[in-house]
Amino acid sequence: MERLLSENLEKSTVMVNITWNSNDWKSPSDDASNHRWVQEGNIPHESWNFDFKNSRNKDDKIFGYAQFTHPPSIKGNNNLIIFHSKGKIVGFYGEAEIIHTPVAISETMSYNLIGKKDLSLVLKNKIDNIKEKGYLEEKMRMGQIGFIYLKKNQTALNIIDEAIKLNPEESHKLNNLKAWLNNSDSSETVRNHPDKEKIKNKKLNQILFGPPGTGKTYNTINKALEIIRGKEFVKANEENRDILVSEFNRLKDAGQIEFITFHQSFSYEDFVEGIKPVLDSGPELNYEIKDGIFKQMCVNALFNIFEKNDVQSLTKSEYFEDLYDQFCNYIEEQIEDSGFIEFETLIKKWPLRIAGIDENKNIIMEHLKISGSDEWERSLKTPKNLKILFDNYENVSDIKRIKDIENLGIYSWKSGHVALFKRLKDFEQTIYERGTSRKELSYVQKKELITELKKIEKAGDPFVLIIDEINRGNISQIFGELITLMEEDKRLGNSERLTVTLPYSKETGFGVPPNLYIIGTMNTADRSIEALDTALRRRFSFEELPPIPALIQGIGSSLAPDGRIEDVDVVKLLQTINDRIEKLIDKDHKIGHSYFMKIEKTKEGLKQVFYDKIIPLLEEYFFGDFGKIGLVLGSSFVEKVNNTNGFDFADFPEYGDLRTDLIQRDIYRIKPAEAWDFVSIYTKGQEQ
């Protein structure tokens, strides 16, 4: 998609409109507003935009809100937001990010803007007369969609300079904002990426591995958000898991994150492509070639790159549709303010007016029946006629005679059409923001468009595929020939890029895009780990997530801050159990801390976790050898049962003397929970 900023502008700068607030957006106010949300009795979400002490603001970030008809298309967290209200410039967010879907914190609080606290402030003395000073650049007014882009870096610098003159007490922070604006990295890739790290330093393929219960699946949310939103976003919200989960789900719904789980039946046909039956195909069973989840992610990620690299990706037809939609929105908002829009024809200056837009996006135009009367005649002017003029004339001045448009198929209200066309072109040149209301393309359309991508010069937004339990699938069968294409230097856009012809669709030139990240999880206690493909091992970086007993008394634990349940030190308890398991088996079969993170803070809750989770896991580890379980937990958990008195086997003399040995064999069993002594597990001198 075409960027609207000039080539030499180092940052994206956007001026956004917010509802007026006499309390300087530090708390709700009683100001009158024509905003429908406010008129219905609701509190504007912008009310806390500069409430730096608000609990929603974490570390060095401030979270704000602006109402957009269509969100700005800027990316990353290296932007400047200039706040506008009632014709005045009222404040700034520096090093800022805009989120397309607001994150709800409460019924009255949401945020879709993130700024850096040190570079964000509200002006005590606001800046007015901004149009006369050229601060709107070539725009006639603030955009009807809630914002305008500023194309010139100097405009933003001039605004900050005036802010310093009007607010000398804030000169230190404003000068820092100015210095930041002047010294940003101008690299397109770095500027647009949510994190400032270079993309080549990101781990494209990574696997989180460790014993059960160490938070591997839990951490995939953090890892995915670090890749897409940046490490700072995750760090700022690490104490508020709900915000992270909400953002993860938003990105998942938007198609930027996908989550799947491998299992023994998962196949190449599920992952890449395969022949699948068509449901509801009539009395005869029909089949079609269906793309799997990995191929779909590749298509969506590559289309994202295509949008950023091919500025011609909007066809002329798509461009007009986008322009016309925004023009109709503009008309509706103007009519909401004044009731109708009046103008004149270009030649005879006949009075015309626009009365509204109907449900089919037809513009309702009216003119006086007789000059000097007050009776208006109405007609619907469909977008079809405007598109005819748009396709055949660059400007209104190209129409030499009104009668000429009859040759194009426009026979009635010709002067009205030309006058309306002039207003459309004026809107295009002064207010229209290209691509902000573009219709979502279908998956098939995206597949067709990406075939036109010839060269990758700009990085796309990151897409993340999470594969839980990756080692439980047959890797060779599932990935097939794509295992080689996953390597960083073999991906599209790189020097050693490789493509293949897919077996079912016979699609040629298929490759893996450079902006698709893969995160896998692997349970080291799962015996299927032995089947992990060696080729996969070489193409993934591995990050171990071991049990960390100390986390039991940390953030998110029901046992914080001491990690105790009555007289039981749960941290020592887990550490001792894991030390013994490592001695008896290996470190890959330890028990994870997450089993103890959310339990009820009573001994009954601890007993329930042991009964439901820990003991069954130990039984699996030791293949039912309760003697070894006793070495781990102690005699208060496991007892030897003497059942030789009166016990005998069935008559089977062929077993001979071995029969007597079996009768004397020791049997162990788990004691009732009432007998369990948790403290004895980790204290010296406990019975074994």
pLDDT tens, residue by residue, 410-459: 877 788 888 888 888 888 877 776 655 455 667 887 887 787 777 776 67
Q: Is residue 688 one of the residues assigned to a domain?
A: no
Length of the chain: 688
Are 456 and 514 a contacting pair, CB within 8 Å? Answer: yes
114-123, 541-550, 676-685: which is most confident: 114-123
Give strand pairing partners of 468: 261
Dump pLDDT digits (tens) for 33-86: 666 666 677 788 899 999 998 888 877 899 999 988 777 877 777 899 999 998
Q: Residue 524 has which token pair?
A: 């080291």
Q: Is the pLDDT score of 6 beyond 50?
A: no
Dump pLDDT digits (tens) for 190-206: 333 333 344 444 689 99
- Name 481's Cβ contacts closer than 8 Å, sequence gap at least 6: 500
Q: Is the pLDDT score of 595 beyond 60?
A: yes
Select from 83, 104, 103, 101 the least CA-distant residue to 92.
Answer: 83
Give first-to-last CA distance, the chain, whole Å. 70
Residues of the chain with pLDDT > 70, as a percent, come to 85
Q: How many domains does the chain have?
A: 4
User: What is the C-alpha to C-alpha distance for residues 549 and 97, in angstroms, rounded to an integer?
Assistant: 36
The dihedrals phi and psi of 274, each to the nearest 5 degrees, come to: -170, 175
Of 212 and 43, the structure prediction assigns the larger pLDDT to 212
User: What is the C-alpha to C-alpha distance for residues 657 and 653, in angstroms, rounded to an integer?
Assistant: 9
User: What is the C-alpha to C-alpha distance for residues 482 and 357, in angstroms, rounded to an integer?
Assistant: 51
Select from 569, 575, 688 the least CA-distant residue to 639.
Answer: 688
Residues of the chain with pLDDT > 90, as a percent, come to 34
| pLDDT at 14 (0 to 100) | 92
Shared domain check, 41 and 162: yes
The dihedrals phi and psi of 132, each to the nearest 5 degrees, come to: -65, -30
Last-in-domain residue among 164, 186, 208: 186
Are 513 and 491 a contacting pair, CB within 8 Å? Answer: yes
Last-in-domain residue among 519, 544, 569: 544
Q: Is residue 296 one of the residues assigned to a domain?
A: yes
Mean of the pLDDT values across residues 678-682? 93
Cα-to-chain-centroid distance, residue 24: 31
Shared domain check, 459 and 408: no
| pLDDT at 199 (0 to 100) | 42
Run of H or E residues at 368: strand 363-368
Rounded to two decimals, what is the model's pTM? 0.59
| pLDDT at 310 (0 to 100) | 61
Q: Is residue 311 one of the residues assigned to a domain?
A: no
Dump pLDDT digits (tens) for 637-666: 998 887 666 777 888 888 877 877 787 777
Shared domain check, 328 and 299: no
- Side by side, the strands of the sheet bearing 205-210 are 257-261, 463-468, 516-523, 205-210, 541-544
Give the count of beta carbons closer than 10 Å to the beta carbon of residue 686. Answer: 15
Dump pLDDT digits (tens) for 303-315: 888 877 665 544 6
Shared domain check, 580 and 495: no
Q: Is residue 195 one of the residues assigned to a domain?
A: no
Last-in-domain residue among 385, 403, 430: 430
Shared domain check, 161 and 50: yes
Shared domain check, 207 and 85: no
Cis preceding linkage at 351, omega within 30: no
Q: Is residue 5 one of the residues assigned to a domain?
A: no
The two beta strands, 88-104 and 79-85, are antiparallel
Shared domain check, 337 and 268: no
Of 659 and 261, the structure prediction assigns the larger pLDDT to 261
Q: What is the DSSP letter of 310?
A: -
- Name 236's Cβ contacts closer than 8 Å, sequence gap at least 6: 58, 59, 60, 61
User: What is the C-alpha to C-alpha distance for residues 476 and 486, in angstroms, rounded to an integer?
Assistant: 13
Shared domain check, 170 and 33: yes
Q: Residue 162 has which token pair?
A: 């005036």
Dump pLDDT digits (tens) for 233-258: 888 887 788 889 988 998 998 899 99
| pLDDT at 488 (0 to 100) | 86
Q: Residue 193 has which token pair?
A: 């990426």
Q: Is 330 exposed, middle or buried (0-12, 13-18, 19+ CB in 10 A)?
A: buried
Average pLDDT, the chain: 82
Would you say the C-alpha torsion 92, 98, 102, 105 has a positive or negative sign?
A: negative
CATH number at 245 reads: 3.40.50
84-93, 150-159, 425-434: which is most confident: 84-93
- Name 454's Cβ contacts closer than 8 Å, sequence gap at least 6: none
Select from 90, 72, 69 the least CA-distant residue to 20.
Answer: 90
Dump pLDDT digits (tens) for 508-531: 889 999 999 999 999 988 755 555
β strands within 3-146, DSSP E:
13-17, 61-64, 79-85, 88-104, 110-127
Q: Residue 156 has which token pair?
A: 């933003």
Q: How many Cα atoms are found within 13 Å in the side-chain-facing hemisphere of 287? A: 7
Run of H or E residues at 147: strand 147-150
Radius of gyration of the chain (CA): 33
Q: Is the pLDDT score of 373 beyond 60?
A: no
Cα-to-chain-centroid distance, residue 99: 9
The amino acid occupying position 562 is: D
Shared domain check, 553 and 540: no
Q: How many Cα atoms are found within 13 Å in the side-chain-facing hemisphere of 369? A: 6
152-166, 555-569, 614-628 — which is least confidently predicted?
A: 555-569
Q: Residue 596 has which token pair?
A: 């103890």
| pLDDT at 130 (0 to 100) | 92
Q: Is residue 337 one of the residues assigned to a domain?
A: yes
**CA distances to 67, 162, 374, 421, 429 from 72, in Å:** 11, 25, 42, 26, 18
| pLDDT at 194 (0 to 100) | 38
Would you say the C-alpha torsion 660, 662, 666, 670 has a positive or negative sign?
A: negative
| pLDDT at 502 (0 to 100) | 92
- Name 442's Cβ contacts closer than 8 Å, sequence gap at least 6: none
**CA distances to 228, 258, 488 from 294, in Å:** 18, 9, 16
User: What is the C-alpha to C-alpha distance for residues 604 and 673, in angstroms, rounded to an integer?
Assistant: 9
Dump pLDDT digits (tens) for 111-143: 999 999 989 999 999 999 998 888 988 776 776
Q: Is residue 435 one of the residues assigned to a domain?
A: no
**CA distances to 49, 164, 178, 452 from 173, in Å:** 17, 9, 9, 47
Q: Is the pLDDT score of 394 beyond 70?
A: yes
Shared domain check, 621 and 561: yes
Cα-to-chain-centroid distance, residue 332: 32
Shared domain check, 292 and 410: no
Mean of the pLDDT values across residues 269-277? 91
Of 501 and 340, the structure prediction assigns the larger pLDDT to 501
Of 649 and 466, the structure prediction assigns the larger pLDDT to 466
Q: Is the pLDDT score of 223 beyond 70?
A: yes
Query: What is the extent of the structural domain holding 58?
Result: 13-186
User: What is the C-alpha to C-alpha distance for residues 173 and 296, in angstroms, rounded to an integer?
Assistant: 46
- Name 6's Cβ contacts closer than 8 Å, sequence gap at least 6: 151, 152, 153
User: What is the C-alpha to C-alpha distance for residues 603 and 234, in angstroms, rounded to an integer?
Assistant: 34
Q: Is residue 309 one of the residues assigned to a domain?
A: no
Q: Is the pLDDT score of 149 beyond 60?
A: yes
Shared domain check, 412 and 532: no
User: What is the C-alpha to C-alpha distance for residues 156 and 182, in angstroms, rounded to an integer?
Assistant: 10
Largest CA distance in the chain: 124
User: What is the C-alpha to C-alpha distance for residues 40 and 36, in angstroms, rounded to an integer?
Assistant: 6
Q: Which residue has the tokens 């005649």?
A: 377
